[in-house]
């Protein structure tokens, strides 16, 4: 039946205001429904306690809610609770693997040529440990070149493939199952950066064949400061300690310590208990919406906006073909600075978009593109808003051109 965006908007306090913005920066951060905000508030008002460190009822309730959030997230993404590790975001989840994997000198990490800095820089930093990072180029149209991956993996020195599942540049979805099969055939593990994918469509980590899958709840209608690494049991067991301290140990003496098993082994110190409460509410909300419907809605708005923008003088769409993409529309400007357009869109029309390099400096540098404007859609965005983006952009660029 599809999503009813107008009805959904009523659940989001920011969008219920008379001066509500046209929020089109969902690839960075989604807005929060009232149920998520209330869950966070309820933690602070009713059970503002630590989990796992006391036997009084409130503490036990917090611990159960944390584990309920873990089970819900694992179920939602096709993972397993016992190998789902909470982090503060997808960036930390990726860094956990980078620091805790049992690397050997000469190991190679392969990435695509369109990785967010969070799935690029951690691998570059491993050079001091004798680990090499290499990039496998995409096809000319921006889609993944599986034949190039097959050829590179055949050399047998790759320990890990780290690839974005859905690109934050343009919403392009890579053929993850095929990539997983190639990696495993070559004896390598696969890490997928799922920060965009988990927010905008259904994900089944087990079906994809990923050994590691990183997500951020702030892109999934949830609070900031909560992310997760979902892993297969054998993959998480291969990881050594990342951060240690409270809640990671079974016992200590003055001389040594015995670590707990995953996931506790990786969750050192006081956790974001309010964030877990909000995350549980966010997952429940997404379940009610239906992720197939969320994906179809975002893709329809992307296509509507992209087709409208194709006819606007002074800009060009960038990224992979529309058929391979989800809810993201990036475009470069011929004679204007992307930040100028973003400022004017907000100032004149209350439209909020992203501008610049989108933490994808490597891609923009390689393609000699001086930044772009990116509009990204969520379940509460409407066709009216997609059309307003097109018309406002057209009008601003026409005015800028006439002023020159």
Residues labelled catalytic: 359
Contact 351, 365 (CB under 8 A): no
**Most distant CA pair in the chain: distance in Å?**
75
Separation between Cα atoms, residue 343 and residue 348, nearest integer Å? 9
Contact 286, 371 (CB under 8 A): no
Contact 226, 275 (CB under 8 A): yes
Separation between Cα atoms, residue 394 and residue 144, nearest integer Å? 32
Task: For residue 186, give both structure tokens.
Answer: 């070559």
Contact 36, 222 (CB under 8 A): yes
Pairing label, strands 22-23, 351-352: parallel
Burial class (CB in 10 A: 0-12, 13-18, 19+), 190: buried
Separation between Cα atoms, residue 66 and residue 57, nearest integer Å? 14
């Amino acid at each position: 039946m599809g999503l009813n965006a107008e009805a959904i908007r009523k659940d989001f306090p920011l969008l219920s205001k008379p001066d509500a913005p046209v929020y089109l920066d969902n690839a960075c951060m989604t807005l929060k429904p009232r149920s998520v905000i209330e869950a966070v508030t309820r933690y602070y008002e009713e059970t503002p306690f630590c989990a796992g460190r006391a036997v009084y009822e409130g503490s036990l309730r917090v611990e159960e809610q944390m584990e309920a959030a873990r089970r819900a997230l694992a179920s939602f993404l096709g993972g397993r609770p016992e190998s789902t590790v909470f982090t503060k975001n997808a960036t930390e989840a990726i860094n956990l693997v980078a620091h805790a994997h049992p690397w050997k000198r000469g190991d190679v990490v392969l990435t695509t040529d369109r990785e967010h800095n969070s799935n690029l820089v951690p691998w570059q930093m491993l050079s001091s440990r004798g680990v090499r990072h290499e990039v496998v180029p995409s096809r000319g149209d921006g889609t993944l070149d599986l034949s190039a991956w097959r050829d590179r993996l055949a050399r047998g020195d790759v320990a890990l493939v780290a690839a974005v599942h859905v690109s934050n540049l343009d919403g392009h979805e890579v053929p993850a199952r095929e990539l997983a099969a190639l990696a495993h055939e070559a004896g390598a593990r696969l890490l997928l950066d799922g920060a965009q994918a988990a927010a905008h469509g259904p994900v089944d980590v087990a079906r994809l064949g990923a050994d590691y899958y990183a997500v951020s709840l702030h892109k999934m209608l949830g609070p900031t400061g909560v992310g997760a690494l979902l892993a297969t049991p054998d993959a998480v067991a291969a990881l050594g300690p990342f951060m240690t301290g409270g809640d990671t140990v079974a016992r200590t003496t003055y001389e040594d310590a015995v670590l707990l098993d995953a996931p506790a082994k990786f969750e050192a110190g006081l956790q974001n208990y309010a964030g877990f409460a909000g995350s549980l509410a966010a997952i429940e909300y997404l379940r009610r919406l239906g992720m197939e419907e969320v994906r179809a809605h975002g893709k329809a708005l992307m296509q509507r906006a992209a087709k409208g923008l194709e006819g606007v003088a002074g800009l060009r769409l960038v990224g992979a073909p529309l058929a391979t993409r989800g809810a993201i529309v990036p475009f470069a400007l011929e004679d204007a600075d992307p930040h100028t357009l973003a400022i004017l869109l907000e100032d004149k029309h209350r439209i909020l978009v992203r501008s610049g390099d989108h933490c994808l400096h490597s891609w923009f540098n390689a393609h000699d593109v001086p930044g772009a404007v990116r509009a990204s859609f969520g379940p509460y965005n409407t066709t009216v808003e997609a059309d307003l983006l097109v018309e406002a952009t057209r009008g601003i660029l026409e005015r800028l051109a006439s002023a020159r």
